[in-house]
Structure formats: C-alpha cells, structure tokens
Amino acid sequence: MGTKEKLIERLRRKPKDFTFDEAVTVLGFLGYSLHNKGTTSGSRVLFAAPGRTPIMLHKPHPQKVLKSYAVEHLLEKLILNGDISK
C-alpha cells in the first residue's frame, strides 16, 4: 500500500489529528490544485479539479490539525465527486 492509499485510509477513519498538510497531499494525489478564494480570503482555501465540484476548506491556525467537521466535509466531498469509494 502506497502513501496515497495510506492517507486515504487514514482520512476514512476520521482521525482527530488529520492535518491540513495531509489534506493538501491527498487532494494533490487526486488531481486537485490549491487556490486562495480571493485576495481577502483569509484562511479559506479552494481546491479545484477539472470536471469536479470544488472543495473549500478552512486552513487552521495556529495549529495545523483540521476540525472534525472539516474532515467529515472533505470525506463527503471526495465521495460525492467520485474520487474515493464509500
């Protein structure tokens, strides 16, 4: 099992310590690219991939760990977009 599969499996388990950097890595593996929402987006970032619904996440600070609702949201969006299976 490679890094991509391990990170996706970790995301599926909905860990309390899933980091923003791990989310960026998973989304990068799946073909998404990171975009700032706008010039005043603050900590909101958008991940876009051709032909798929964009995914918006809050970049946590000062800690790097995503909130549990953000992990749930990310997992739901990846399933809905057909990027990962349920």
Domain that holds residue 8: 3-80
> What tokens does 69 get?
């609702």
Please report the pLDDT score of residue 62 as a whole number: 87
- Give the whole-angstrom CA distance, residue 70 versus residue 27: 14
Q: Per-residue pLDDT tens for 7-42?
A: 999 999 999 999 999 999 999 999 999 987 666 566
Question: Does residue 85 fall inside a structural domain?
Answer: no
Please report the pLDDT score of residue 41 as a whole number: 61
Question: Does residue 30 fall inside a structural domain?
Answer: yes
> What is the average pLDDT across 47-72?
93
Sheet architecture: strand order including 55-58: 33-36, 44-48, 55-58
- What is the total count of domains within the chain? 1
> What tokens does 49 get?
């991939």
**CB–CB of 48/35 below 8 Å?**
yes
Q: Write down the mean pLDDT value for the chain.
A: 91
Please report the pLDDT score of residue 80 as a whole number: 96
Question: Does residue 86 fall inside a structural domain?
Answer: no
